[in-house]
Amino acid sequence: DTEVTQTPKHLVMGMTNKKSLKCEQHMGHRAMYWYKQKAKKPPELMFVYSYEKLSINESVPSRFSPECPNSSLLNLHLHALQPEDSALYLCASSHATNNYGYTFGSGTRLTVV
């Protein structure tokens, strides 16, 4: 298995909703990443988990809450989002020590209404 699987592919949520994005990989990668990508812009790093511990948090608002319950799974919990949070959310994974095998998921297209 050489894929990073993200679910759901599309999500529409209201500003008072709570939802979660899920990312899964079975490549034995111990580094996992969340990115946010707005239209026609490169991805922006949000969080990095290394060996299931949060190692980088790029000053992301607390309405985004990451969770890494095990080495294969990464979640992003969403609460009280704003319309400007609408974007493509990408997950990626790699070997923790040398970034070898950096693999992106196909993303979750999030729309906040």
Read off the tokens for 63: 């309405």
Under rule CB under 8 A, residue 22 binds another protein:
no
Name residues contacting another protein, limited to 24-83 (CB under 8 A). 31, 33, 41-43, 45, 48, 50, 55-56
On whether the CB atoms of residues 34 and 104 are closer than 8 A, the answer is no
Which C-beta is closer to another protein: that of 9 or that of 18?
Answer: 9
Cβ(93)–Cβ(31) below 8 Å = yes
**Toward another protein, which CB reaches closer, 38 or 63?**
38
C-alpha dist (Å) from residue 108 to 21, 27, 42, 84:
7, 20, 15, 15
H or E element at residue 50: strand 44-50
Position 103 contacts another protein (CB under 8 A): yes
Residues found near another protein in the complex (CB under 8 A): 6, 31, 33, 41-43, 45, 48, 50, 55-56, 88, 90, 92, 96, 98-107, 109
